[in-house]
Chain A
Amino acid sequence: MSTEKDPELEKLLEEKAKKLLRQAKQQDIRPEVVHLDSKNFDSFIASHKISVVDFWAEWCAPCFILAPIIEELAQDYPQVGFGKVNADENPDIAARYGVMSLPTVIFFKDGEPVDEVIGAVPREEIEIRVKSLLGE
Chain B
Amino acid sequence: MSKVKPILLGIPGLSYSSFMKCNPRFLFMLFSSTFRGVVANKELNYHPAPSWLSVLQMDYQKIETFLTQVPELKLVEMTDSVLINIPITNPTYGEVRLPYDTSVSVEEEIKDVEGAILQYVEKKPVIASINSIDRFLLQNGKDKCEIYKAVDGLVKNVINKVDDFIIFSPYGEPTKDGKREEYGVFLASVPRPNEHETVKLPEIGKLFLNIVK
Judging by beta carbons under 8 Å apart, are B37 and A59 in contact? yes
- From A57, A59, A69, B20 is in contact (CB under 8 Å) with A69
* B184 to A, closest residue via Cβ: A64
* CB-defined A-B contacts under 8 Å, sample of 16: A58-B38, A58-B40, A59-B37, A59-B195, A61-B16, A64-B15, A64-B17, A64-B38, A64-B183, A65-B19, A65-B20, A65-B31, A66-B20, A68-B17, A68-B20, A69-B20
A57, B17: Cα distance in complex, Å: 14
Judging by beta carbons under 8 Å apart, are B17 and A61 in contact? no
Q: How far is the CB of B137 from chain A (nearest CB, A)?
A: 15
Interface residues of A (CB under 8 A from B): 57-61, 64-69, 120, 122-123
* A88 to B, closest residue via Cβ: B196
Cβ of B213 within 8 Å of any chain A Cβ, yes or no, is: no
Q: How far is the CB of A119 from chain B (nearest CB, A)?
A: 11
Q: Is the interface of B mostly helix, strand, loop or mixed?
A: mixed
Judging by beta carbons under 8 Å apart, are B20 and A61 in contact? no
User: Which residues from B are CB-within-8-Å of A66?
Assistant: 20
Q: Given known contacts A64-B38, A64-B183, is B197 in contact with A59 (CB within 8 Å)?
A: yes
User: Which residues from A are CB-within-8-Å of B197?
Assistant: 59
* B172 to A, closest residue via Cβ: A64
Q: How far is the CB of A83 from chain B (nearest CB, A)?
A: 18
Q: Is the interface of A mostly helix, strand, loop or mixed?
A: helix
A57, B19: Cα distance in complex, Å: 18
- Tally of B interface residues using CB under 8 Å: 19
A59, B184: Cα distance in complex, Å: 11
A59, B20: Cα distance in complex, Å: 18
Among A59, A69, A120, which residue has the most Cβ atoms of chain B within 10 A? A59
User: Which residues from A are CB-within-8-Å of B20?
Assistant: 65-66, 68-69, 120, 122-123
Among B15, B19, B31, B36, which residue has the most Cβ atoms of chain A within 10 A? B19
User: Which residues from B are CB-within-8-Å of A120?
Assistant: 20
Judging by beta carbons under 8 Å apart, are B21 and A61 in contact? no
Among B16, B37, B197, which residue has the most Cβ atoms of chain A within 10 A? B16
Cβ of B198 within 8 Å of any chain A Cβ, yes or no, is: yes
A58, B183: Cα distance in complex, Å: 8
User: Which residues from B are CB-within-8-Å of A69?
Assistant: 20
Top 8 A-B residue pairs of the complex, sorted by shortest distance between their CB atoms: A64-B16, A61-B36, A68-B17, A65-B19, A59-B198, A65-B16, A58-B198, A61-B38
* B185 to A, closest residue via Cβ: A61
Q: A58-B183, A59-B37, A68-B18 provided; 13 other pairs, C-beta below 8 A?
A: A59-B196, A59-B197, A61-B31, A61-B185, A61-B186, A64-B17, A64-B183, A65-B19, A67-B17, A68-B17, A69-B20, A122-B20, A123-B20
User: Which residues from B are CB-within-8-Å of A67?
Assistant: 17
Q: How far is the CB of B22 from chain A (nearest CB, A)?
A: 11
